[in-house]
Amino acid sequence: MAAPMLRWGCRGRRWAFARVDGGSCHRRGAPTGSTSNRIRGESSVAQQPLHTAQKTRKGEHKWAAVVGLEIHAQISSNSKLFSGSQVRFSAPPNSLVSFFDASLPGTLPVLNRRCVEAAVMTGLALNCHINKKSLFDRKHYFYADLPAGYQITQQRLPIAVNGSLIYGVCAGKKQSQVIPKTVRIKQIQLEQDSGKSLHDNLRSQTLIDLNRAEGQLRVDANISVHHPGEPLGVRTEVKNLNSIRFLAKAIDYEIQRQINELENGGEILNETRSFHHKLGCTMSMRDKEGKQDYRFMPEPNLPPLVLYDATSLPAGADPQQVINIDQIRETLPELPSVTREKLVQQYGMLLEHSFTLLNEVGLLEFFQNVIKETRAEPKKVTSWVLNTFLGYLKQQNLAVSESPVTPSALAELLDLLDSRTISSSAAKQVFEELWKREGKTPGQIVSEKQLELMQDQGALEQLCHSVMEAHPQVVMDVKNRNPRAINKLIGLVRKATQSRADPVMIKEILEKKLSL
Amino acid sequence: MSSQARRSALRAGALRGPRKEEMWSRLVWLGLRAPLGGRQGFTSKADPQGSGRITAAVIEHLERLALVDFGSREAVTRLEKAIAFADRLRAVDTDGVEPMESVLEDRCLYLRSDNVVEGNCADELLQNSHRVVEEYFVAPPGNISLPKLDEQEPFPHS
- C-alpha–C-alpha distance, residues A506 and A504, integer Å: 5
Which chain B residue lies closest to A31 (C-alpha atoms)?
B142
Given this model, what pLDDT does residue B158 score?
A: 35
Which chain A residue lies closest to B126 (C-alpha atoms)?
A94
What pLDDT digit, counting tens, does each position of A29-72 carry?
A: 223 333 333 445 444 333 334 444 444 444 457 899 999 999 98
Chain mean pLDDT for chain A: 83
Of A94, A96, A113, the CB nearest to B126: A94
Give me the mean pLDDT over the A470-481 stretch. 82
Given this model, what pLDDT does residue B59 score?
A: 87
pLDDT confidence band for A406 (50 / 70 / 90)? very high
Helix crossing, A363-373 with A351-359: angle to 10°? 110
Instruction: Name which of A308, A307, A306, A244 is nearest A277 in CA terms.
Output: A244
Contacts of A308 in chain B (CB under 8 A): none
Which chain B residue lies closest to A149 (C-alpha atoms)?
B66
- Does residue B68 belong to the interface with chain A, where contact is any CB pair within 8 Å? no
Is the whole model's pTM more than 0.90, yes or no? no
Instruction: Please answer yes or no on whether A320 and B111 come within 8 Å at the CB atom.
Output: yes
Residue pair A216/A240 in contact by the 8 Å Cβ criterion: no
Given this model, what pLDDT does residue A5 score?
A: 53
What pLDDT digit, counting tens, does each position of B17-74 carry?
A: 444 444 444 444 444 443 333 333 344 434 444 445 788 888 888 887 777 888 888 8
The topology under which CATH files domain A457-514 is Arc Repressor Mutant, subunit A (1.10.10)
Given this model, what pLDDT does residue A322 score?
A: 95
Instruction: Name which of B1, B90, B76 is nearest B39 in CA terms.
Output: B76
Does the pLDDT at position A465 exceed 90? Answer: no
Of B66, B106, B112, the CB nearest to A111: B112
Secondary structure E strands in A172-251: 177-190, 196-200, 205-209, 218-226, 236-241
Does the pLDDT at position A13 exceed 60? Answer: no
Does the pLDDT at position A343 exceed 50? Answer: yes
Contacts of B133 in chain A (CB under 8 A): 205, 207
Contacts of A79 in chain B (CB under 8 A): 112, 114-117
φ, ψ for residue A199 (rounded to 5)?
-90, 125
- C-alpha–C-alpha distance, residues A133 and A159, integer Å: 7
Instruction: Please answer yes or no on whether A28 and B142 come within 8 Å at the CB atom.
Output: yes
Give me the mean pLDDT over the A331-345 stretch. 92
Of A78, A140, A298, the CB nearest to B116: A78
φ, ψ for residue B98 (rounded to 5)?
-70, 125
pLDDT confidence band for B148 (50 / 70 / 90)? low
Given this model, what pLDDT does residue A65 score?
A: 95
Given this model, what pLDDT does residue B149 score?
A: 52
| Interface size, chain A vs chain B, as Cβ–Cβ contacts under 8 Å | 169
Contacts of B104 in chain A (CB under 8 A): 300, 302-304
What pLDDT digit, counting tens, does each position of A499-516 carry?
A: 777 777 888 888 888 776
Given this model, what pLDDT does residue A308 score?
A: 96
Given this model, what pLDDT does residue A39 score?
A: 45
Contacts of B125 in chain A (CB under 8 A): 94, 97, 99, 102, 104
What pLDDT digit, counting tens, does each position of A271-319 carry?
A: 889 998 888 899 888 655 556 788 899 999 999 999 999 999 999 889 9
Does the pLDDT at position B154 exceed 70? Answer: no
Given this model, what pLDDT does residue A223 score?
A: 95
Does the pLDDT at position B5 exceed 80? Answer: no
Interface mutation vs chain A, best among B20, B28, B118, most A CBs within 10 Å: B118
> Between residues 69 and 88 of chain B, which touch chain A (CB distance below 8 Å)?
none
**Smallest CA–CA separation between B60 and chain A, in Å?**
11
Given this model, what pLDDT does residue A504 score?
A: 79
Instruction: Please answer yes or no on whether B143 and A29 come within 8 Å at the CB atom.
Output: yes
Give me the mean pLDDT over the A248-274 stretch. 93
* Domain boundary assignment for chain A: 64-287, 336-449, 457-514
What pLDDT digit, counting tens, does each position of B76-120 carry?
A: 899 999 999 999 988 999 999 988 878 888 888 999 999 999 999
Give me the mean pLDDT over the A485-508 stretch. 80
Residue pair A456/A503 in contact by the 8 Å Cβ criterion: no
- C-alpha–C-alpha distance, residues A317 and B54, integer Å: 52
Does the pLDDT at position A351 exceed 80? Answer: yes
Of A83, A143, A209, the CB nearest to B143: A143
- C-alpha–C-alpha distance, residues A194 and A212, integer Å: 7
Instruction: Please answer yes or no on whether A304 and B119 come within 8 Å at the CB atom.
Output: no
Contacts of A305 in chain B (CB under 8 A): 109
Radius of gyration of the CA atoms of chain B, in A:
22
A126-147 in b/e form (b: 16+ CB < 10 A) is: bbbebbeebbbbbbbbebbbbb
What pLDDT digit, counting tens, does each position of A184-228 carry?
A: 999 999 999 878 888 887 888 888 889 886 667 789 999 999 999
Q: Is the dihedral of CA A386, A392, A398, A400 positive or negative?
A: negative
What pLDDT digit, counting tens, does each position of A128-177 carry?
A: 999 999 999 999 988 888 899 999 999 999 999 999 998 888 887 766 67
Of A78, A197, A321, the CB nearest to B114: A78
pLDDT confidence band for B143 (50 / 70 / 90)? low
Given this model, what pLDDT does residue A312 score?
A: 94
**Smallest CA–CA separation between B4 and chain A, in Å?**
22
The 3-state DSSP class for residue A9 equals: strand
